[in-house]
Structure 1
């Protein structure tokens, strides 16, 4: 019987060793999968943050574009109204029929160019020296 007891003890020891090895193996595998899952979650969070920033940027850009378009339309409307007002104001004035001197036309064009470029000089309303 002692030989049978020794064999049973050896088999039990072998089973305990195998079960321990399997438990450690699956624990390591689960730990690796957990690490992969956490890494994937971090990547998803980073991608969501980038996407959110892109959408915010596009919204801001569209808002600015709409505001600029509205401002351009308002300027055109104001210019059209001013032009009509000037035509009405000078319709009965005999000096409106006279031609504008070349020097004045050139100076007005320079002033308008300065306004478009945002330059100081003639755009400030001060005459060039």
Structure 2
């Protein structure tokens, strides 16, 4: 029986070693999977952050675009109102019927261009006449 006991002991020791090796192996695999899960979570968080920043930027851009559109519409309304007021003011004035000298026209165009450039816009090129 001592030989049978030795065999059983050897088998038990072999099983314990195998179970220990399997436990270490699966512990390592679980650690690797946890690291992969952590990396994936960090990537998702980074992607969400980028997406949030893009949406915020687009919202700001749309707000600025809308404000510019409204400002342009207001400027157009103001200009048409000013034009109508000037027409009424000079309707019965004989000076309004006289042609404007070329030098005055050119100077007024330069002044208008300087106003546009001062407002941050680029002045369109005007032919010298």
What is the TM-score normalised by the length of structure 1?
0.88
Q: Structure 1 stretches (4+) deviating beyond 2 angstroms?
A: none
Structure 1 Cα separation of the partners of residues 64 and 71 of structure 2: 10
Structure 1 Cα separation of the partners of residues 20 and 46 of structure 2: 39
Identify the structure with bigger relative contact order (alpha carbons < 8 Å, sequence gap 6+).
2
CA RMSD, aligned part only?
Answer: 1.1
Structure 2 Cα separation of the partners of residues 8 and 102 of structure 1: 118
Shift of 1:99: 1.4
Residues 33-52 of structure 1, C-alpha deviation per residue, up to 9 Å, x if partnerless?
00000000001100110111
Residues 88-117 of structure 1, C-alpha deviation per residue, up to 9 Å, x if partnerless?
111111211111122211111111111122
- 1:12 — aligned with what? 12
Count how many residue pairs are aligned between Structure 1 and Structure 2.
119
2:111 matches 1:111: yes
What are the ranges of 5 or more consecutive residues in structure 2 without an aligned counterpart? 120-129
More deviation in 12-21 or 103-112? 103-112
